[in-house]
Amino acid sequence: MHAEKALLRKKMLALRAAETPEARRLRDRAITEAVCGLDAYQSAHTIFCYCATAEEIATDAIISNALVHGKRVCVPRCERPGEMTAREIHSLHELIPGKFGIREPQADRPIISPEEIDFCIVPCLCADLQGFRLGYGGGYYDRFLCQTSAFTAVLCDFSRLLRTPLPREATDIPCDCIVTERQVHSEK
């Protein structure tokens, strides 16, 4: 199972690396509009959203939209290997380079309990139609998501939305919807 996931990660990273900046920009804009148009997003009070790396689907516009609309926003902070907390922010300017080069809030930002979160936005390398995602293999998001009942959206490039089920382990947590630049696929 681990070898199968590792091979799939390698393939998806190669596909992602081949994307042009213009294609990424157009995709990111379409995904931002789709997320911000979701009923679950619009009705949410507290949003948890990943801070994208340069290669991932951009989330700054989603975070900014949530802040402008008065939502409580929290983003991940890696505390120890395998452990991630949600920390409240009021501006993207509060983020600093953290572990793995990913922007994160400083340690003094308030921790938001997973139970307080209404809507989660998580990254993936690819996802399947059942809502399972393939991440980077650290298990950070699966460990976090099992602590919340929030509606969870995974952002995925349409070309990496798989029609066949991903290899799964008991610890893999499905998401409620997959948002691509072409469609929103939801089981709820």
Q: Annotated binding residues, as ranges?
A: 5-9, 56, 133-141
CA 173 to centroid of chain Cα atoms: 13
Q: Residues near 65 by Cβ (< 8 Å), separated by ≥ 6?
A: 32, 36
Annotated binding site for substrate: 56
Q: 75, 102 in Cβ contact below 8 A?
A: no
Q: Which residues participate in the annotated binding site for ATP?
A: 5-9, 133-141
In this structure, the number of other CB atoms found within 10 A of the CB of residue 167 comes to 15
Cα dist from 19 to 13, 27, 50, 57, 135, whole Å? 10, 10, 21, 11, 18
Collapsing DSSP states into helix, strand and coil, what is residue 111? strand
